[in-house]
């Protein structure tokens, strides 16, 4: 994931910026660059690979100056090359490429309509393949002596996400930063100011920070920091005092990345849906599909290939594609897909789902599907990853860096993006605008509902203490909650090493019921959907055989009390959206179990974050 650092003050900017880049290395990146403004000139150095490579390239160069911006890039538009690395110049470099820029910009995020903006620019001389250079040129073209005005004039034209920092050679002590979706923090020193994607780079210098919110623009100069919105209204910001050390800061104060990432979900969910709703038409706008209306109508079947948690997200999407779009949908483990002569052709749309974008089984499945003529699209988190590049089209889930091995926030965002795809096809095929609008409205209510579940973390911890003594646990669910049960079991086994099995409630009687006794507890996802009554019967069956039961139920549901030893209540939502909520208590349950059992939650034994071997 890209990282931004900026400095305005009295010190030499270069060492501050380089250390800042190192502090952001944990986010992952493939190239780095730096620009310093000095005596009306911007000097820039960029290099592919590690920050060390950039440092080597800087040897022998003098980049003096006390204002600068720097960036670690994780490729999105365009390959991993020096030319595509940031900072980008807004003016064409006709002379010495490292010093000719009048305006320099670093950008995190994705500008979805960059092609459209690119066509409208006067200067058609591009030195990179990036969306970010287009934004740099747009701001440069709008510049009439006031950098803040130029930024504010340009940003409303952008569709997508950004955390952006800009400097102009004629504004010697100024960085202008703005945020929509990609985080930015301003650090307040003594007549010096810091800017970064998170607080880690500024911790050695200041503990006082202000977080930019979406739609805000910060004017950071030696005279101070002024924050306003795109309507030019001044925004009064609170200053937060950070008491964390570097590692705690990377974890945003949580004891582990996994817990941080579970709690990130309401925030990153907003990133997954931002700009992707057409409320009036009751549909989604996911430009990444890259298909004409006719091509969309020609899709006869959807196939989803993925592994592990990503496959569970796919299994949920199957219900949505079938229900909303009447499209047959098959979900396969990518490792099986490739070796079983899959029947796919030109009318099949294959979605490859992957957090890392590097899972080799999924990559090979994509190649097989392409070879057979299918249309392949990616639903990927890591921008610029191999799967994102090989699919060439698709949608980023915008979950942000997921560092814990166990996948959590990527799961909810995968489900969200796939639901939006299902809705888009649904509206073309059979779903009414009213149903579409209801679904979009229900999605808007999800973050608040997620918060109300996260608030129960301590209570879930108490419940986990009761279950920590068992050797094995069964998870059951039906309909869209069947994959939720699979995901709950996977989370538990991978981080607590307790044997867990997820299954459909309907499957119990066909064998697994033989296992059930007072020594084998059952966790049931029993929210009030169309299979509620059937699920209640399944829970009654296990209860009758002495099993301890933990039930995930809807708030206000008193009927489940007789069936449950423990209950975790979740808010009600539309049935297709239930997994977005019902999975969260299971993530927290697995997390607390693992902590209680003394396991390393972020790095479970035998597992890797990205599986790049078959
Ligand atoms: C589970 C988990 C794995 C991954 C699987 C696919 O918590 O992390 O099951 O979901 O290895 O990985 P990606 O999504 O990177 O393709």
Q: Which domains does the chain have, with CATH numbers?
A: 3-244 (3.60.20.10), 250-444 (3.40.50.10490), 454-614 (3.40.50.10490)
Taking residues 264-268, what's their average pLDDT? 94
- Dist. CA 23–CA 32, nearest whole Å: 13
Q: For the chain, give the mean pLDDT.
A: 93
Buried residues in 553-572 as b, exposed as e (16+ CB within 10 A)? bbeebeebeebbebbbbbbb
E strands, 99-173, are 103-108, 162-168
- Dist. CA 516–CA 490, nearest whole Å: 19
For residue 342, the CA-to-ligand 1 centroid distance in Å is 22
Nearest alpha carbon, ligand 1 atom 16: 354
Is the shortest distance between the CB of 413 and ligand 1 below 6 Å? no
CB 571 within 8 A of CB 441: no
List, in order, residues 6 or more apart from 395 with CB less than 8 Å away.
286, 288, 289, 377, 378, 379, 380, 417, 421
Is the shortest distance between the CB of 309 and ligand 1 below 6 Å? yes
Q: Which of 48-52, 222-226, 400-404, 479-483 has the lowest mean pLDDT?
A: 400-404
User: Which atom of ligand 1 lies closest to the CA of 382?
Assistant: 15
Is the shortest distance between the CB of 406 and ligand 1 below 6 Å? yes
Is the shortest distance between the CB of 4 and ligand 1 below 6 Å? no
Encoded tokens for 112: 């979805």
Q: What is the pLDDT of residues 209-265, one digit of tens each?
A: 999 988 999 999 999 999 999 999 999 998 988 878 877 878 888 999 999 999 999
Query: What is the biggest distance separating any 2 CA atoms in the chain, rounded to whole angstroms?
Result: 82
Strand order in the sheet with 31-38: 41-48, 31-38, 67-73, 3-8, 193-196, 185-188, 208-211, 240-241
For residue 154, the CA-to-ligand 1 centroid distance in Å is 38
Place 85 in a pLDDT band, splitting at 50, 70 and 90. very high
Residue 247 confidence (pLDDT):
78
Is the shortest distance between the CB of 212 and ligand 1 below 6 Å? no
Q: What is the pLDDT of residues 353-405, one digit of tens each?
A: 999 898 989 999 999 999 999 999 999 988 767 898 889 789 989 898 888 99
List, in order, residues 6 or more apart from 580 with CB less than 8 Å away.
269, 412, 415, 416, 446, 450, 573
Strands 301-306 and 348-354: parallel
Residue 552 above 80 pLDDT? Answer: yes
Quick one: which of 173, 146, 144, 176 has its CA closest to 162?
Answer: 176
Q: Which of 24-33, 184-193, 467-476 has the lowest mean pLDDT?
A: 24-33
Is the shortest distance between the CB of 356 and ligand 1 below 6 Å? yes
Q: What angle in degrees, to the nearest 10, is found between the helix axes of 446-454 and 257-273?
A: 170
E strands, 102-201, are 103-108, 162-168, 174-180, 185-188, 193-196
Residue 95 above 70 pLDDT? Answer: no
CB 266 within 8 A of CB 295: no
Residue 98 above 70 pLDDT? Answer: no
Residue 542 above 60 pLDDT? Answer: yes
Taking residues 137-143, what's their average pLDDT? 96
Q: Which of 98-102, 133-137, 266-270, 451-455 has the lowest mean pLDDT?
A: 98-102
Residue 232 confidence (pLDDT):
93
Three-state SS at 42:
strand
Residue 245 confidence (pLDDT):
80
Model-wide pTM > 0.75: yes
Residue 93 above 70 pLDDT? Answer: no
Encoded tokens for 286: 């996911």
* Pocket residue to mutate for ligand 1, from 314, 337, 355, 586, most atoms within 8 A of Cβ: 355
Strands 549-554 and 522-525: parallel
With a pLDDT cut of 90, the percent of the chain lying above it is: 79
111 bridge partner residues = 160
Nearest alpha carbon, ligand 1 atom 7: 406
Residue 1 confidence (pLDDT):
64
Residue 336 above 60 pLDDT? Answer: yes
- Dist. CA 464–CA 177, nearest whole Å: 44
Place 545 in a pLDDT band, splitting at 50, 70 and 90. very high
Place of tokens 């986990």: 464
Taking residues 107-133, what's their average pLDDT? 91
Encoded tokens for 445: 């209510």
Burial of 12 (0-12, 13-18, 19+ CB in 10 A): middle
User: Which atom of ligand 1 lies closest to the CA of 406?
Assistant: 7
For residue 507, the CA-to-ligand 1 centroid distance in Å is 25
Taking residues 530-550, what's their average pLDDT? 96
Q: What are phi and psi of 552, to 5 degrees?
A: -95, 110
Place of tokens 């400095």: 7
Is the shortest distance between the CB of 313 and ligand 1 below 6 Å? no
Taking residues 488-493, what's their average pLDDT? 98
Give catalytic residue positions. Answer: 2, 609
């Amino acid at each position: 994931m890209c990282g931004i650092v900026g400095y305005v003050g009295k010190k030499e900017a270069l060492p501050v910026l380089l250390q800042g880049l190192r502090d952001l290395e944990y986010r992952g990146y493939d190239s780095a660059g730096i620009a310093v403004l000095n005596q009306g000139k911007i000097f820039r150095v960029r290099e592919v690979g590690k920050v060390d490579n950039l440092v080597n390239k800087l040897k022998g160069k003098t980049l003096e100056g006390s204002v600068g911006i720097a960036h670690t890039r994780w490729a999105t538009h365009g390959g991993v090359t020096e030319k595509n690395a940031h900072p980008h110049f807004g003016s064409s470099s006709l002379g010495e490429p490292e010093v000719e820029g009048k305006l320099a910009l670093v950008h995190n995020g994705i500008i979805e309509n960059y092609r459209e903006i690119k066509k409208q620019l006067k200067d058609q001389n591009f030195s990179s393949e990036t969306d970010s250079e287009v934004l740099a040129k747009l701001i440069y073209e709008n510049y009439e002596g006031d950098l803040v005005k130029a930024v504010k004039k340009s940003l409303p034209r952008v569709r997508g996400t950004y955390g952006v920092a800009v400097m102009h050679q004629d504004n010697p002590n100024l960085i202008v930063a703005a945020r929509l979706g990609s985080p930015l923090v301003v650090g307040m020193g003594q007549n010096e100011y810091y800017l970064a994607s998170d607080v880690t780079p500024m911790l050695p210098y200041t503990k006082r920070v202000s977080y930019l919110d979406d739609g805000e623009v910060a004017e950071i100069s030696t005279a101070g920091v002024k924050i306003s919105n795109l309507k030019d209204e001044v925004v009064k910001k609170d200053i937060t005092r950070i008491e964390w050390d570097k590692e705690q800061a990377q974890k945003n104060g949580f004891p582990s990345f996994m817990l941080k990432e579970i709690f990130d979900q309401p925030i990153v969910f907003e990133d997954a849906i931002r700009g992707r709703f057409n409320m009036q038409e009751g549909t989604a706008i996911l430009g990444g599909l890259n298909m004409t209306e006719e091509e969309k109508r020609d899709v006869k079947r959807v196939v989803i290939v993925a592994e592990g948690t990503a496959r569970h997200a796919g299994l949920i999407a199957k219900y949505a594609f079938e229900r909303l779009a009447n499209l047959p949908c098959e979900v396969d483990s990518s490792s099986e897909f490739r070796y079983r002569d899959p029947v796919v052709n030109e009318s099949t749309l294959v979605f490859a789902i992957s957090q890392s974008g590097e899972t080799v089984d999924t990559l090979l499945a994509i190649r097989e599907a392409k070879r057979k003529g299918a249309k392949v699209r990616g639903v990927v988190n890591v921008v610029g990853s191999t799967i994102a590049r090989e699919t060439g089209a698709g949608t980023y889930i915008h979950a942000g860096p997921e560092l814990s091995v166990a996948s959590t926030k990527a799961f909810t965002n995968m489900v969200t993006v796939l639901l939006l795809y299902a809705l888009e096809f649904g509206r073309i095929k059979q779903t009414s605008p009213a149903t579409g609008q209801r679904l979009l409205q229900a999605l808007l209510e999800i973050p608040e509902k997620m918060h109300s579940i996260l608030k129960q973390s301590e209570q879930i911890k108490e419940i986990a203490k009761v279950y920590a003594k068992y050797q094995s646990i069964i998870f059951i669910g039906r309909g869209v909650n069947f994959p939720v049960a699979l995901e709950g079991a996977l989370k538990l086994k991978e981080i607590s090493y307790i044997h867990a099995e997820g299954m459909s409630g309907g499957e119990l009687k066909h064998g697994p019921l033989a296992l059930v006794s007072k020594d084998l507890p059952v966790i049931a996802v029993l929210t009030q959907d169309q299979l509620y009554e059937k699920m209640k019967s399944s829970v009654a069956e296990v209860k009758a055989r002495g099993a301890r039961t933990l039930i995930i139920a809807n708030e206000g549901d008193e009927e489940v009390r007789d069936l449950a030893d423990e209950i975790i209540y979740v808010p009600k939502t539309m049935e297709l959206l239930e997994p977005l909520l019902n999975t969260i208590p299971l993530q927290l349950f697995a997390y607390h179990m693992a902590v209680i059992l003394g396991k390393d939650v972020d790095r479970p034994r035998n597992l890797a974050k990205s599986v790049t071997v078959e």
